[in-house]
Structure 1
Amino acid sequence: MLAYTLLIALVAVERVAELVVSQRNLKWSRAQGGVEYGAGHYPVMVVLHTALLAACLFEAAHREFLPALGWPMLALVIAAQGLRWWCIATLGRQWNTRVVVVPDAGRVTGGPYRFIPHPNYVAVVVEGFALPLVHSAWITALAFTVLNAALLWTRISVENTALQTLSDPRPPR
């Protein structure tokens, strides 16, 4: 359980790093005239993602580590982090945890965005079920997956509406 607690702590530290990058980029976006869309669902997203980490620890305290499940799920968690940071690097200053569109910024179509329109949400979905399952927390994995699906339905709709306001895509990086 100690190793799993350390993993959750590392993910929490990674989230703080994301928020630092996000706040810096949000400040830049607003200075460029960026317009935020769908701010109402953002607090729900923060609560859900924070609850995921807490629920992982709570449920895992009552579960055994199953190597046949835990190791592959850890590999997926690591892959999800890699995909998430690839998205952040590809979007550069345009990335933040909110939906903010900078006028005339152009839609980014490079990096993972060459392959799918919302790759960061693939990382979120994978992490949402894999992180709890690293330590057999299947109830947390199921609950987060269902609640996150509802949230992503709203989030992707808002993001697609916001992206329609952008000019032609930027060339791939």
Structure 2
Amino acid sequence: MIFFIIFISLMMMERLVEIVYARHNEKKMKRNGAIEVGADHYKWIVLLHVFFFISLTVEVIWKGGELGKYWFVFFALFLFAQLGRFWTLLTLGKYWNTKIIVLPGEKRVRKGPYRWLKHPNYLIVAIELFSLPLIFEAVFTSFLFVIGHVVLIYFIRIPLEEKALQQLLV
């Protein structure tokens, strides 16, 4: 149980640091003329992630807080996703954000993982939502929130983002 508490605390701290970084980038980009698109859906993404951590904590405590039988496989997958997360963050740099914020006239980023995928971070988040709970055998949380993430991202977020990028970028 102590490993879970440390692990989940580190994950929440990482997310808080990312939110601070995103807000910094948002303010700077908006000062330079950036436009936010699709703000209405953002609350659902935030709620999905908040309820993910709540569900994960409840399910892990309910199951006794032990590592799963194949925890090392899911931990390795999770670490791989973390490397991808930092790669996308570093690649986008000042453009990285948790919201859809586009600076008109800029070029679409096509380096780093964006050479191969238009939206690598969404795949990375899906891998995190899948693998992190399975480290602790929280199967319900894993599958419920991967499905929720895919629905929000595939049917709402990506279409909004693609439309904004096509309209506002060079």
Provide the C-alpha distance between the structure 2 equivalents of 1:85 and 1:66, rounded to a whole number of angstroms: 25
5+ residue gaps, structure 2, are none
SS in 1 for 2:167: coil
Measured after TM superposition, the shift of residue 73 of structure 1 is 0.9
Q: 1:9 aligns to what?
A: 9
Contact 1:52–1:140 (CA<8 Å) still a contact in 2?
yes
Measured after TM superposition, the shift of residue 120 of structure 1 is 0.3
Measured after TM superposition, the shift of residue 63 of structure 1 is 2.2
The aligned amino acid for 1:163 is L
Q: 1:55 aligns to what?
A: 55
Q: Residues 127-170 of structure 1: CA distance to partner in whole angstroms, max 9, x if unpaired?
A: 011111110000111110111111112111111111112444xx
TM-score by structure 1 length? Answer: 0.92
Contact 1:107–1:166 (CA<8 Å) still a contact in 2?
no
Q: Residues 71-104 of structure 1: CA distance to partner in whole angstroms, max 9, x if unpaired?
A: 1111111111111111111111111110011011
Measured after TM superposition, the shift of residue 68 of structure 1 is 3.7
> What percentage of aligned pairs have identical amino acids?
36
The aligned amino acid for 1:36 is E
Measured after TM superposition, the shift of residue 40 of structure 1 is 0.5
Q: 1:110 aligns to what?
A: 111
The aligned amino acid for 2:28 is W
Superposed CA RMSD:
1.3
Contact 1:34–1:101 (CA<8 Å) still a contact in 2?
yes
Q: 1:87 aligns to what?
A: 88
Provide the C-alpha distance between the structure 1 equivalents of 2:44 and 2:95, rounded to a whole number of angstroms: 22
**How many residue pairs are counted as aligned between the two chains?**
168
The aligned amino acid for 1:164 is Q
Q: 2:137 aligns to what?
A: 136
Contact 1:106–1:166 (CA<8 Å) still a contact in 2?
no
Moved over 6 A (4+): none
5+ residue gaps, structure 1, are 169-173
Measured after TM superposition, the shift of residue 67 of structure 1 is 4.6
Provide the C-alpha distance between the structure 1 equivalents of 2:168 and 2:90, rounded to a whole number of angstroms: 19
CA spacing shift, 1:66–1:16, aligned 2, 3 Å = closer
SS in 1 for 2:70: helix
Provide the C-alpha distance between the structure 2 equivalents of 1:151 and 1:69, rounded to a whole number of angstroms: 29
The aligned amino acid for 1:133 is L
